[in-house]
Each structure stands twice: as C-alpha cells, then as structure tokens.
Amino acid sequence: MTAAGPMRVIIDTDPGLDDAVAILHALNTPALAVEAVTAVAGNIGIATTTRNVGGLLAAMGRGDIPYAAGAAGPLAGDGRTEVAIHGADGLGGVPLPPAWVPPDSRSAMALMDAHLRAAPAGSLCILALGPLTNLAHLANEAPVAYARIGRIIAMGGTIDEPGNAGRFAEFNMAADPLAARMVLCGPVPVTLIPLDVTRRLRATPEDLDRLAAFGTPAATLAANLIRAYFAGHAERSSRPLHDPCVMLMAVAPALFGTERLRLTVDCDAHPGRLVQVPHGAEINVALRINAGQALDRLWQGLGAAA
C-alpha cells in the first residue's frame, strides 16, 4: 500500500495451483485493490480457468469483483497445458464453492478495456500470471486502453535457469511466444519475474502447517492447494511458488533485486526463450529474492484477518 492507497490492479490468470494461491493473497491483502480478474487458457483450458476464477472469488466472498473469459489459445500455433501438474480441474482436486455470479458477458479484453478507460491513465496495473495472450489481444484491439496501463508485472521466462517447457523456455512464454514478444516489446513498462527467482520461493510441508495455523479462509485454502502441489511428488522436500512472486513484487518490491536487461522472445528455434540482444526491449527483470522474508510476507498476507 502506498501513501495514496492500495495499488489498483487487474489480475490476468490461468489458475492453476500457484495462480490460485497468488489470487487468494491478492484478495486478502489491503495493499491491493483488485478491480477485475481475467482468465486465459494456459495451465488448463479456458472454461476451467474461468470457472476457477469464479470459485476463488466466491471462496473469498468477493462476488463484487467482475471476471471474464479471455483467449482460448495462443495467437498462433497449438496451446499447451500442465494437467500433469495441476490436475484435470487445475486445482489438484481441491474443491471450490460455485461462483456467486456468472462471468461477465464481455470478453476479458473488453472488460480490461472498460476498466482502463474509466480509470486515470497509469493508475491501473496488470498482474499477469499466465500466458500473455489476453494482453496481446488488448494491445491489438484497443491500443488506446492498453497504453493507459501503469505497468505490467508478469511471471515468466528464464535467464540462466533451465526451462520447464523445454531446455530453454518457461511455460508462460512458451505457451504463447508471439504474445510474449508483443507485450515485452510494447509501450507499457514490464517487470518480469523469471524462474531464476520463482524457484527460490519454496514451501515445505512444515511451512504449510504454519500457514494453516492462521485459520483464515485464504490461509486454509492456500495450504490445501499447495499440499495438492506435492501430489505425485512426495519425494520432494519443497515446492516452488511461482505466481505468488508477482503479488509480492507488487506489494513489497524491496524483497527483490532487479536489473534492466535488453530482451526479445524467440518465436522460432526455441519458442519462448528469452534472448538478450543489444536492440531488445529494456525490461526490469527480478534476478534475486530474499526467499525467507518473501515466504513470511506471503504467509502473513494469506493469514491476515479480513
């Protein structure tokens, strides 16, 4: 929260276990004012990601926040999914209540357009947790509204870490490399949080006991979701929390160390690979994190009483 009040945001997301935890944190912290949530295909198909958004809003008693379905696939080529990690429902079998209200009748892009035009220029930020397809469509279809975005904070890419969608690419970038290139090279400032950082923010089963002990709806549900993240990976001592890093960057940027890198996105040889080039777009990239303090801040945000 700033002296002027909470940061006004739209969340663009493909929930997804770690997306869901990030959304719960955003909805439970007074430092963020969530004005809309837009769904995109990514971890799972668009019908499921949209339903999960509605269920997460209902779980937090936020039927007042509009949400809408966006792109069902990338700008070009075939889509990807991560069913093996997130399960057929995207949430590892963790149940959510039914949505209080149906999705907005407008598309995700139309919903973002309306909110951006109604808000003062630069006052709304986009917290992007999935493939950047919705934002690329918005840039193409409503460039005036797109240019009114204050900044985009996105989870995606990798600089020095091995990829999780092939050797060189991270899933969100690989799921729609053309959209990623458009957004990173576009007119809106981007802060990118790659695997180099998100793999450092990890939760152990003991951490989840500490989270669940808060007893709030957000903490209880988040703990259950992260426990589901261990399913099929019982041999692992911890699991990474990728997308919550976006919310932490928004509310506590001092937890991160960033550098300005000139980047483009490979759409050919290794789709989704981030490439440093002299003529690339200048992107603010998180390369370091105080992981212990970040986990404490995430748990505190989920455990705060409403």
Active site residues: 242
Alpha-carbon distance of 76 to 66, in angstroms, equals 28
Cβ-contact 305, 208 below 8 angstroms = no
Name the one residue in this structure whose structure tokens are 């109604």: 118
Q: How many residues does the chain have?
A: 306
Name the one residue in this structure whose structure tokens are 């700008």: 75
Alpha-carbon distance of 4 to 33, in angstroms, equals 12
Determine the number of helices (DSSP H) and then strands (DSSP E) in the chain: 13, 11
Cβ-contact 261, 287 below 8 angstroms = no
Alpha-carbon distance of 272 to 270, in angstroms, equals 6
Following DSSP, what letter does each residue of 108-166 receive, concatenated?
HHHHHHHHHHHSPTT-EEEEE-S-SHHHHHHHHH-HHHHTTEEEEEEE---SSSPPSSS
Alpha-carbon distance of 202 to 215, in angstroms, equals 21
Name the one residue in this structure whose structure tokens are 């598309």: 107
Alpha-carbon distance of 73 to 114, in angstroms, equals 23
Alpha-carbon distance of 117 to 199, in angstroms, equals 36
Residue 205: phi and psi, rounded to 5, are -55, -35
Name the one residue in this structure whose structure tokens are 């998100």: 198
